[in-house]
Structure 1
Amino acid sequence: MKVGFIGVGRMGGGLARNLVRHGYDVTVFDLSEEAVSRVLEIGGTAAASPSELAASADVLFTSLPLPKHLTDLLVHEENILGLMKSGSVVIDVSTIDPSTARMLSDASARHGVAFLACPLGKGPLQAEEGTQPIYAGGRREVYETYLDLLNDISTSVHYLGDVEQATGFKIVSNLIGMTNALVLSEGLRIGEEAGIDPLLLQQLLATTGADSYQLTLRGPKILNEDFTPGFSVHLTRKDVRLGVEMASELNQPCPFSELALEYFSKAVDAGYGDEDCAAVYKLFKPTAVRSQ
């Protein structure tokens, strides 16, 4: 089985390296030579172009920042679906909206290529460790065919139904998580202004109903004012926007998600776009609030 991987940055790189470690014949492509080199240190080979990779792969993983990047690659500008072998499969681990996933699944089928939407549940660390949760969607028989491969790069693979359910789940997860990150930032600032020691505040919140994954993951970043990007404000805003747009298509109200989008947009405008999404905390400092 020849495995191709397009997009081996922070998320994709960890998954690609785990495929190499499990003995797969892996060929990678990324616009970043550094990202490619980090995979080749473990093993595998590099392709000169996405087209070269698509023509040879039995399984093609894709991990790209924006839905447009994916549609341009697979269907529009580069149209590599037209180069892929009949009976091959695209396994996309990007965060995309259900409408885009449906379009790509249908386009793949027209070329005799299967398509699985497999968005991821956590961050680059889990991708590197091989513990990244995967939420799969697509035809059941395709999922079952590649389940062993997915299990080699994850300890937690879940089948949700078709591509709309898998990608929709990821967007809902991000909406809840990122809205929680905003409420956490706001609450921590209020507690600090009330004179509570910041470390004690976080420790004790973890013993109450205020405990959350975001408190565990981003609380220490806020405490240490370390906003090195694990998941950037730019990407957070993109994902929240996808969620708001999905809710609009479903005619489903989402006022809190809309407010989250507003605040992550403010964080980008304030110059925090390349920092971790925890940097939204800085918007809640009293000077920042007064200046808005």
Structure 2
Amino acid sequence: MVNESQPSVGFIGLGVMGESMASHLLQKGYPMYVYTRTKEKAANLMNNGAIWCGSPKEIAEHANFVFTIIGTPKDVEEVYLDENGLITNGREGSYFIDMTTSSPSLARKLFEEGKKKGIHILDAPVSGGDIGAKEARLAIMVGGEKEDYNSVLPLLEHMGKNIAYFGKAGSGQHTKMANQIAIAPTMIGVCESLVYAKKAGLDVQNVVDLISTGAAASFSLSAYAPRILKEDYTPGFFIKHFIKDMTIALNEAEKMGIHLPGLSLAKDMYEKLARLGEENSGTQALYKYYQ
């Protein structure tokens, strides 16, 4: 039930993760305004009291706190800085929190543009996939002003369990890049482990059950190996979005003079799958690379 004494919340981007994240805030009674390119994706939220807006501009005009989780850095820049964008039309004192995995440099740019208008901007990308979003146990990595983080933390706690502040604007995005760099070679290892176990004639499910309790334990193994064994390649996280993230990470690494061969290999493998039509599959579809 909507509580009119609560600050109003806007949510832009209602995809695999965004809809669940928004629903947790709605269930806590926050008056909610939503926008997404495909209105049908907002149907469940609207049926539960969310109010549809026709543009980011309308969201900015109504909501005190606005969360975005959309596709690419280009999309983020449009939503925040276009004529009908959030910062362009935002009110002084508003809080805009971008939870998209985007570039650290863009996060810094948005922060500076918001500061000119007295708008508080945070970059707060997430990790945990569709399951983490549904169960409100996402990891949330935040960059921006510490006071702004403290102001937004009570809302973030409705969406995640492991939430941390990492420093100035862009720091949340840098942390997410570190996260993606760790995941990419891990997914290769998970898939190669399953391929090896199957070729050796083992009961692969038993192998997964056992090694998940030892040194090989990881989120990727526990969450995605069972899906692979069921030939379930529906996206908890899209391959096309993972390629976007790896590209950002490699670009940032190059600026810092770092060579990341493991990440480069993973990106090459995923790009091959994308060319074969798997760009909208989940990242666990990397297993198909070996088939």
TM over 0.5: yes
Rounded to whole Å, the distance in 1 between the matches of 2:161 and 2:288 is 35
Give 3-state SS (helix, strand or coil) of 1:253's partner.
coil
Q: Which runs of 5+ in 2 are unaligned?
A: 1-6
1:226-253 alpha-carbon deviations (Å, 9 max, x no partner) = 1111112111111111111111111111
Q: Does residue 80 in structure 1 map to residue 86 in structure 2?
A: yes
Aligned counterpart, 2:3? none
Question: Residue 139 of structure 2 corresponds to which residue in structure 1?
Answer: 133
Matches within 5 A, 1:233-272: 233-272=239-278
Q: Is 2:281 aligned against 1:275?
A: yes
1:37 aligned to 10, 20, 43, which one?
43
The Cα offsets for residues 175-216 of structure 1, whole Å up to 9 and x where unpaired, read as: 211220112112221222222222232223224422221110
Alignment coverage as a number of residue pairs: 285
**Alignment TM-score, normalising by the size of structure 1:** 0.92
Q: Check whether the contact 1:114–1:142 (CA below 8 A) recurs between aligned residues.
A: yes
Deviation at 1:102, TM superposition (A): 0.7
- Asked if 1:193 is matched to 2:238, the reply is no
Cα deviation digits, residues 76-127 of structure 1 (max 9, x gap): 4644312110111111111012111111111111222110111112112222
1:58 aligns with 2:64: yes
Asked whether 1:230 is paired with 2:232, we answer no
DSSP-derived class of the 2:126 partner: coil
Contact 1:56 1:85 in 2 (8 A): no
- SS of 2:165's partner is strand
Structure 1 stretch displaced more, 100-109 or 192-201? 192-201
Q: Partner of 1:94 in structure 2?
A: 100
Aligned ranges 1:121-160 → 2 under 5 Å: 121-160=127-166
Q: Take 1:206 and 1:84, find their aligned partners in 2: how far apart are those partners?
A: 47
Q: Which residue matches 2:11?
A: 5
Are 2:110 and 1:111 aligned?
Answer: no
For 1:135, give the aligned amino acid.
M
Instruction: Give the aligned CA root-mean-square deviation in angstroms.
Output: 1.5
Equivalent pair of 1:61/1:92 in contact (CA under 8 Å): yes
Q: Is the 8 A contact 1:61 1:91 kept in 2?
A: yes
Q: Bigger shift: 19-28 or 161-170? A: 161-170
Q: Return the alpha-carbon distance in structure 2 between the equivalents of residues 147 and 206 of structure 1.
A: 32
Query: Residue 160 of structure 2: SS of its match in structure 1?
Result: coil
2:237/2:282 contact within 8 Å kept: yes
Question: Secondary structure of the residue that 1:95 maps to in structure 2?
Answer: coil
- Pairing partner for 2:52 from 29, 35, 46: 46
Q: 1:207 to 1:88 in 2, by over 3 A?
A: closer
Q: TM-score, normalised by structure 2?
A: 0.93
User: Contact 2:33 / 2:62 at 8 angstroms: preserved in 1?
Assistant: no
* Overall identity of the aligned pairs, in %: 29
Query: Unaligned stretches of 5+ in structure 1?
Result: 286-292
Q: Distance in 2 between matches of 1:267 and 1:152?
A: 35
Is the partner of 2:37 in helix, strand or coil?
coil
| Structure 1 residue 2: Cα displacement | 2.0
Do the aligned partners of residues 191 and 140 (structure 1) sit closer, same or farther apart at CA in structure 2, a change above 3 Å counting?
Answer: same
